[in-house]
Amino acid sequence: MSRYEDWMAEAKAELAAARTLFGGSHYSWCCLTAQQAAEKALKAGLERRASPRFGHNLNDLLGALAGPSVVPQPLSDAVARLNRHYIATRYPDAFPAGVPAEQYTSSDAAQALEDADAVVGFVERAR
């Protein structure tokens, strides 16, 4: 049984939550939630192909989903940027000093939202 619809619904819900976090100036959490939306979208695509995967590395998930086909460079770049948000957005020891909430800016979060939108759209169009 494919869980594509469930994974994609959660991806879209998390993308909506990321937008809410952006509106509240919670930029590190916006970046993390955008990363999570992309992760769940990629896992949705893998579910649709009956090839579910574990793990959090977006580069690996995109590679598994795309297979031998060429991934457009802008999408590959978006996934690489989002991939960096999985740990650093959550743990104070990811930086020499300060907490993640002090390290992320509105432009970081806006880029993360744009990147997550691109990943979700890619998976939806790859039917």
Rounded to two decimals, the pTM is 0.95
The one-letter amino acid at 29: W
Please check whether residue 84 is in contact with residue 91, taking contact to mean a CB–CB distance below 8 angstroms.
Answer: no
CA dihedral 88→27→117→46, nearest 10 degrees, is 30
Domains and CATH numbers, the chain: 4-125 (1.20.120.330)
pLDDT at 70: 78
Tell me the pLDDT of the chain averaged across its residues. 95
Residue 1 pLDDT exceeds 70: no
d(CA 27, CA 89): 9
Token pair 């939806």 is found at 124
